[in-house]
Amino acid sequence: MRLDKFLAQSSVGRRKEVRIYIKEGMVKVNGEVITEPSIEINENIDVIEYLGKTIRYVEKVYYMFNKPAGCITAKRDVVNKTVFDYFEDVNVDGLFHVGRLDKDTEGLLLFTNDGEFEHKLMCPQKHVEKTYFFWALGSLEEEDIRALEQGVYIGKGKILTKPAKIKVDKYGAYEEFKHEIPIDNLHNIDSKHYNQPIVSGYLTISEGRKHQVKRMLKAVGCYVVSLKRVSIGELMLDESLNKGQYRSLTEAEIKRLVG
């Protein structure tokens, strides 16, 4: 492996930064200062030091998790179950979630210990698309769809959202569809809503503002009662994973996500 790649993967810094560290003589390989970022090292044998500290190679891991509703996206919490509580067979030291989902949102959540991977997916300039399947009380008329596509004002600062994609799936009375809506998320519905219109569909956004999907739909008069993330970029949630289950990403999936 190249020396600069090794250092970047070991979280010493980004590729650009570690090349500077190497050129400035801050890195030693087997006790000798090396100033060429592209030299090949053997991460299992060679001793690499940065500013006098030995850098241990940590293998990168990538997981896809099917988040259930009811747990929070955090490392620990005194009251609630967290997403990490589901990772029983994995050493979670150094593992972090890529982005967040609300407590009542389910679906695709990624985990890794690779800062570069997270940066490529989360950096706002990359505009990585995320698609959510929703059920919402209310209706979506042509003008609402156009508004969502073009951008709506949300949040305290009333900032316009970036253009989104929307595809309506089903539309009718709540009574008609209530059996299709995941039961975990129904805590906000009671019988007075039975004759209300309800709509389901897919909303694709390329930002990650707080409660963004719920707030976008609220801006056009719809109240989200169930939300599930189904894809990030080209990566779809593996529907063979039960809620609360996870699996490693394949090499091909990692490549599809970050190139």
Which amino acid is located at 248 in the chain? S
Instruction: Decide whether 55 or 232 has the Cβ nearer to ligand URA.
Output: 232
Instruction: Decide whether 213 or 219 has the Cβ nearer to ligand URA.
Output: 213
Q: Which residues bind ligand URA (CB under 6 A)?
A: 101-102, 105, 132, 211-214, 227
- Residue 80 beta carbon to ligand URA: minimum distance, rounded to whole angstroms: 15
- Residue 205 beta carbon to ligand URA: minimum distance, rounded to whole angstroms: 8
Instruction: Decide whether 18 or 166 has the Cβ nearer to ligand URA.
Output: 166
Contact predicate 158/164, CB 8 Å: no
What is the 3-state secondary structure of 193-243?
Answer: HCCCEEEEEEEEECCCCCCHHHHHHHHCCCEEEEEEEEEECCEECCCCCCC
Q: Is 102 known to be catalytic? A: yes
What are the two backbone dihedrals, phi and then psi, of residue 177, each rounded to the nearest 5 degrees? -110, 0
- Residue 130 beta carbon to ligand URA: minimum distance, rounded to whole angstroms: 7
Q: Pick the catalytic residue: 102, 104, 144, 184?
A: 102
The span from the CA of 104 to the CA of 31, in Å, is 52
- Both structure tokens of 38: 């592209």
Catalytic residues: 102
